[in-house]
Amino acid sequence: MILLQGYSPARIIGALNRRRADLIRKAQYQPEKTTTLANAVLFESFQGQSISDSPLDIFNELQRTHPELTFYWTIRRGKTTAPAGSIGVVYGSRQWLKALATAKYLVNNNSFPWYFRKVEGQVYLQTWHGTPLKRLGRDIQGTGPSKAYLATMDREAAAWNYLVSPSPYCTQIFPGSFNYSGNILEAGYPRNDRLASQPEGVRERVRRQLGVTDPTEWLVLYAPTWRDYKLSATGNWQAVNYLGKNTPMPEGVRMMFRGHHLTHGAHNSSVAGNAIDVTNYPDVAELYLAADALVTDYSSVMFDFTVTGKPVFFLVPDLQRYEAERGFYFDFRAEAPGPICSTVDELLAELKQIGKNAHIYAHKYAAWQQKFNSLEDGKAAARVVAAVFGK
């Protein structure tokens, strides 16, 4: 059945259409004709699907410190809009291809298409998009990435001038997983600057916007990651939510649901169940600030959220399978800074005691923060900008 899903007619047709579109773009993309680079920056986050993550915080810092630059943002028509002070270029358009070939600086949290070739003199800053629990790239054992994917990633990594690392832990992992031997900026994650500084008023504003008006209500963010083994017949990663429509929340607890960006193709309002659906909320950092606690599984959100010092719960009914098939970089069971729940009932029991059992995990939480969050002081974006663009 898995084989039939993997090679369904719909998926094959979709792949062929995407390939044809890429070939057209490749013909229009002509970096070899670039003679002069513009004093500009092209920012991209998840192929223009969002205006977020570390590229956004670097953009905000550059607006303040380097206003002489021209700023471009990769956007998706009808889905994302360039922030004030920048110019939006639609992913795959002629304008986007021109910016990709002529901007002196490129800032991305993922990868550019397979046909991307860096022009001499361009500076490519790769921020990546998370601290890994699960193995990445070349570290995935067994049925890992295809040879074609690894070849693309090798070309991509060879183009990076700088790779941002949020911690000494990531500095050890990233070179091998990405086959990267260039400059690593061990600076903290710019996207976590606001989690460290916790700007006044954001929590209250976001909660009001979401309809949470009771200040005593515990607002919990549920943010699971995708699964390698949950693929639809059309080639989309299926949504993951173990807290279904009939899951009763404890009194005084309200749940938000945020689907992973790779499962957006399978997302609809029913996926969130009775939770507040924040899958398309533009800025996840604001959700972290609004939330009082986090429920996740193997997602890198666990590393970001602990910058706030608030409690984390892990709902992992498939832990044994996931660990065996994907693999972890460390002993998750031993180091997790919160309760690991194998069932929904176990999680609900923990949520009934929310705010009362923090002392049980205080030692593990402090050790976790020291290992993964020691550089998160609210100044990561400034450090990255100074290293790449100068003071």
Is 194 within the bounds of a domain?
Answer: no
58 and 22 assigned to the same domain: yes
Question: Are 249 and 314 contained in the same domain?
Answer: yes
Same domain, 75 and 107: yes
Model pLDDT, residue 244: 81
CATH of the domain at 100: 3.40.50.11820
Residue segments in the chain with a per-residue pLDDT below the cut of 50 = 1-5
Q: Classify residue 193: in a domain, yes or no.
A: no
Same-domain check for residues 171 and 289: no
CATH number for position 235: 3.40.50.12580
Same domain, yes or no: 216 and 150: no
Whether 90 is in a domain gets the answer: yes
pLDDT at 4: 43
Instruction: Identify whether residues 315 and 336 lie together within a single domain.
Output: yes
**pLDDT for res 285:** 95
Indicate whether 79 belongs to any domain. Answer: yes
State the Cα–Cα distance between residues 303 and 109, nearest whole angstrom.
Answer: 17
Are 255 and 272 contained in the same domain? yes
Do 153 and 10 share a structural domain?
Answer: yes
Q: Are residues 142 and 237 in the same domain?
A: no
Based on the fold, state whether residues 35 and 84 are members of the same structural domain: yes
Give the pLDDT of residue 1: 34
In a domain, 253, yes or no: yes
Could you tell me if 132 and 261 lie in one domain?
no
**Is residue 75 included in any domain, yes or no?**
yes
pLDDT value, residue 194: 96
Supply the range of the domain harboring residue 111. Answer: 2-188+378-389
What's the pLDDT at 151?
87
Q: Within this chain, do residues 246 and 293 fall inside the same structural domain, yes or no?
A: yes
pLDDT of residue 2: 39
* Per-residue pLDDT tens over the stretch 339-377: 999 999 999 999 999 988 889 999 999 999 999 999 999
Please tell me the total count of domains within the chain.
Answer: 2
Q: What is the pLDDT of residues 154-173, one digit of tens each?
A: 999 999 999 999 999 999 99
Within a domain: 260: yes
- pLDDT score recorded for residue 12: 62
The pLDDT mean for the chain works out to 91
